[in-house]
Amino acid sequence: MLRVAELVRHAMSDILSRGLIHDPVLDAHVVTAPRVKMSPDLKLATIYIMPLGGGDADAVLKALDRRRPAIRTEIAHRIALKFAPDVRFRIDDTFENSARIDALLNSDKVRRDLQKDEDQPADDDKSGDGEP
């Protein structure tokens, strides 16, 4: 599944970078496909997309959905599978999730908790007499 997903991702990236799918919305944006998930039977490819800068993601998603048959045909020509997988598009929220986690880790509450851990003495000296 991972190998086929990577083949589909490369094919989709090639299609997007060469501008083979003609749509005014897609022509106006730089779109990346950072990841693809395949169904276990390899008949459905979920392609996660992200426009550069994250702007107009919904418009790009709708444009890709409108051009889905042409994209499926282009992918089928590029990869050798018994069946051409059906494709669906989703917005990649990986960057938003990582930004949210970074914000949580940099919050004042987490800094206070880390500060408390650094201020406490190490538990290496359990005998209490000062010798290891």
Reported as a single tens digit per residue, the pLDDT across 38-54 is 999 999 999 999 888 77
Find the range with the poorest average confidence among 20-29, 60-69, 90-99: 90-99
* Rounded mean pLDDT, 68-92: 90
- The band of 102, judged by pLDDT with boundaries at 50, 70 and 90, is confident
Domains of the chain and any CATH numbers = 2-92 (3.30.300.20)
Model confidence, pTM: 0.72
Contacts for 90-95: CB closer than 8 Å, 24+ residues apart: 90/46, 90/47, 90/48, 90/49, 90/61, 91/48, 91/49, 91/50, 91/57, 91/58, 91/61, 92/34, 92/35, 92/48, 92/49, 92/50, 94/34, 94/35, 94/48, 95/50, 95/54
